Copies of this chain bind each other. A is one copy, B any other.
Amino acid sequence: MARRNDHSREELRQMALDAAQFIIEAQGLTALSARKVASRMGYTVGTLYRLFEHLDDLIVQVNARTLAELNATLERAAADCPDAERCVHAATHAYIDFASRHTRRWSALYEHGIEADIQLPRHFTEQIASMYDQVEALLQSVTPQRSAEDIARAARALWGGVQGICVLALSDKLDIDRIETLSEVADSLVGTYLAGLGARH
């Protein structure tokens, strides 16, 4: 059993996040429980509740982590492409790849929390904002003549769309038998949307 002060508060927090992340990745969000997290970090439930107010706090912080990792992945993917349009496609494929490889952890991002009353913490919404910033930057390059509002709207439309396709595909609700792959549907969305952006000004 763990002794007192073996770890600092921040270390404990990280251990809890690691444990929770592991469980979500391995068994899915619904299999997560306070006792499992605690026991995996070598402590008891009580200790966990000194680190997080509710279990929801824990989950939302794991989600913030996931989002940060996803952001970094996208940034890398969109780093060196011949042109901006191909960057968008590269980012899209990176997104799909991430969602496929870490399906459970990724799906926790939207499976969790429509509990309207509790609002998302700042560093979570910041991650979201930074994700849209990336897409905006790419779209800015694709159509430099458009206004900032147009770009903002377009980024949310396009990226919300990519996310939506992934959600449906990975929960078997895209009726995808007649279509070859998720990638193709995503390419259709991105390619056609970008073509529309070009044709429409």
Contacts and interface: CB of A to CB of B under 8 A. Distances in A.
A110 interface: yes
Interface in A92-139: 103-104, 107, 110-111, 113-115, 119-120, 125, 128-129, 132
Interface stretch (A4-12, A41-49, A73-81, A155-163): A155-163
Interface stretch (A13-21, A32-40, A83-91, A188-196): A188-196
A58 interface: no
A170 interface: yes
Instruction: Determine how many copies of this chain the complex contains.
Output: 2
A57 to B, nearest CB: 16
A168 to B, nearest CB: 5
B164 A152 contact: no
Contact of A173 (B110, B168, B185, B195): B110
